[in-house]
Chains A and B, each alone.
Chain A
Amino acid sequence: MSEELTDPELVSAFKAGDAEALGLLMERHKAAVFGYLLRLTGRRDAAEDLFQEVFLKLVKNPGAYNEREKFKAWLFTVARNAAMDLFRREGSRSEISLDGEGDKPGPADFLASAEPGPAEAFYGKALGERIGAALDSLSEDQREVFYLRHYSELSFKEIAEMLKVPIGTVLARMSRAAAQLRKKLTADLQ
């Protein structure tokens, strides 16, 4: 199976009975989808469950995806809906902190580079924590748009279609997110 196949071609191959095509799709998108879910939920166990839920939806009902759609848009829509369902089941989304709860690590703990030296570890982690806190200070709408744009790399027009809001609303949320991040991070970035 060629890795050069497009996403819709891989889905078609899976529909035709090639299970490994799904493996290639997952390999291609797992970091983005999982990263997005991890940021949204703030918990690795929840992100893992939702990640499986997203791909199992395609496994159980491959017809749910129409090859004429952009696969990434479909994938992130499913991921977002799965996360929203989780938030509804668990209560308010704002209870989830990027800094983690108690002894549990939050996404801010994953922000530092993989294996930094002692000084880099200190400053990198410090900056990572500041950035995590800055992202945490965004409103839910702002954070959602920021994470969607970062991980899905969909255009703002596609994100607007996904969220069913005008593109102006999406751009306004991003603009306000930029202003908020600037306020929180100005001292660190100077």
Chain B
Amino acid sequence: MNCGYGEKLILTLYGEAGESLKAEVEAHLAGCPVCRAEVAALRAAGSNLSARSEEPSPRAEANIMRAARAAVAGRRGFSFKWGEALLSGALASAMAFMFAFSGRGASTDLAWNSGLDERLDSVEYSVYQAQSDFNAPSRDWEYGYSELEDESFNAGKNV
């Protein structure tokens, strides 16, 4: 028997009917044993499914959580490296920016007024001094050696 209330009955039973439809279906149910039997059958099937709450094994859940922790740890490592790279890039850009736009420009005054020339002179003088110092002991030794030779010669003459 098809009373035509099948879909309306479903919407009402599962709480998706509006108030007017719900009232209409409830009125229909009072006089329709077939629809009442269908409601009873659906409720019985639903109750039986709900009666036993099946759950996955702890092993399955542990596998998922292990993978979740590993994935999170992997993502953390990845983002940290990205952070380092971004920081390095930002610092390099900042330095390049400061160098390029420091306001001095490429003027020849820079070399004259910077004291760079004096410092270079100073370096050159230091190099010269170092060379002198390096050569000085050698001259002293040669000088001392010739003195020894003279003394030896004079001593020989006295004997």
Please tell me which one of the listed residues A59, A172, A179 contacts residue B67 in the complex, with CB atoms under 8 A apart.
A59
CB of B29 within 8 Å of the partner chain? no
B65 CB contacts on chain A under 8 angstroms: 19, 22-23, 26
Whether B14 contacts A127 by the Cβ 8 Å rule is no
CA distance A18 to B76 in the complex (A): 10
Q: Kindly identify which residue among A34, A52, A55, A127 contacts B54, using a CB–CB cutoff of 8 Å.
A: A34
Q: Mark A142-170, 1 if CB is under 8 A from B, else 0.
A: 00001001110001100000000000100
Contact of B45 among A26, A55, A114, A181 (CB under 8 A): A181
State the B residues within 8 Å of A (CB).
6-7, 9-11, 14, 16, 34, 37-42, 44-46, 48-57, 60-61, 63-65, 67-69, 71-72, 75-76
Q: Does A6 contact B (CB under 8 A)?
A: no
A: interface residue count bin: 35 or more
Bound-state CA distance A17–B63 (Å) is 18
Whether A5 is near chain B, meaning CB under 8 Å from some CB there, is no
CB <8 Å contact, B42 and A178: yes
A59-B67, A172-B7 known; A146+B34 contact, CB < 8 A: no
B72 x A17 contact (CB < 8 A): yes
With the chains together, A113 CA to B49 CA distance in Å? 10
A84 on the B face (CB < 8 A): no
Let me know if A59 and B64 touch, CB within 8 A. yes
**B16 and A155 contacting across the interface, CB-CB below 8 Å:** yes
Whether A101 sits at the interface, judged by CB under 8 Å, is no
Choose from A128, A149, A155, A156 the contact partner of B48 (Cβ within 8 Å): A128
Query: Which residues of chain A are within 8 angstroms of B46 by Cβ–Cβ distance?
Result: 150
Q: Which 4 A-B pairs have the closest CB atoms?
A: A175-B6, A181-B41, A171-B7, A178-B38
Contact assessment for B16 and A26 in the assembled complex, using a CB-CB cutoff below 8 Å: no
Residues of chain A within 8 A of B52, CB atoms compared: 110-114
Residue of A nearest to B36 (CB): A182
